[in-house]
Amino acid sequence: MNRANEHGSEVARLLRQISAEYEAAQRGLSGLAYGTSQHDFITARMENMGQLHNQLRSIVGDDAIALVAEALNALP
């Protein structure tokens, strides 16, 4: 995770964005929209998380998924 320290602010930004996308998807599960629109919303959030994870992985390598898991586990 040494590379994560070198790019700390970018790593932190990506982890915040991933957390925000995850929280939005979670809220989408209990939101007012049902059916296709709800599914499309959640799918978009998950696809965004995937893209952000790829960006994070390009910075820190295979440790990216561990950083994501740690960030998501810290959510209330």
pLDDT for residue 2 is more than 60? no
Q: Which domain holds residue 16?
A: 2-73
Q: Is 24 left (phi over 0), alpha (psi -120 to 50) or beta?
A: alpha
Average pLDDT over residues 42-56: 96
- Work out the average pLDDT over 30-58: 87
Total number of domains in the chain: 1
Can you say whether the dihedral through the CA atoms of 36, 41, 44, 45 is positive or negative?
negative
Mean pLDDT in residue range 30-51: 84
Q: Percentage of residues in the chain with pLDDT exceeding 70?
A: 84
